[in-house]
Amino acid sequence: MSARVTITTSDQLGLVLQGARKVAGLTQAEAATRLAISQSRVSHMELNPETISVAQLLALLGAYQLDLVIEPRQVRDAVLEKLDW
């Protein structure tokens, strides 16, 4: 993934995790092996992201070479305004 993604719902998180895994070129089984969990758990986390712990989320992001960035909404909105979006 080369762009920032804003996530405001757990459903969006699931889709982003699934997309990030695919962009990383990993199957669910390969991601599971990297994380020492089952393939069915990876599937469950993508379909039910509200069940993911913070530690699990950070492990997934690490496996997909992603960082978690938290920023105030007004910062994002100001940047978008400058870009005339």
Q: What is the per-residue pLDDT for 71?
A: 84
Q: Judge contact between 34 and 63, C-beta under 8 A.
A: yes
Domain count for the chain, please give it: 1
Residue 28, in any domain of the structure: yes
Task: Kindly report the CATH number assigned to the domain that includes residue 15.
Answer: 1.10.260.40
Residue 74: inside a domain, yes or no? yes
Judge whether 78 lies within some domain: yes
Instruction: Give pLDDT tens digits along the chain (85 positions).
Output: 457 888 999 999 999 999 999 999 999 999 999 999 999 999 999 999 999 999 999 999 999 999 999 888 876 677 777 777 6
Instruction: Output phi, psi for 31, to 5 deg.
Output: -60, -40
DSSP, collapsed to helix, strand or coil, labels residue 15 as helix
pTM of the model: 0.78
In a domain, residue 62? The reply is yes
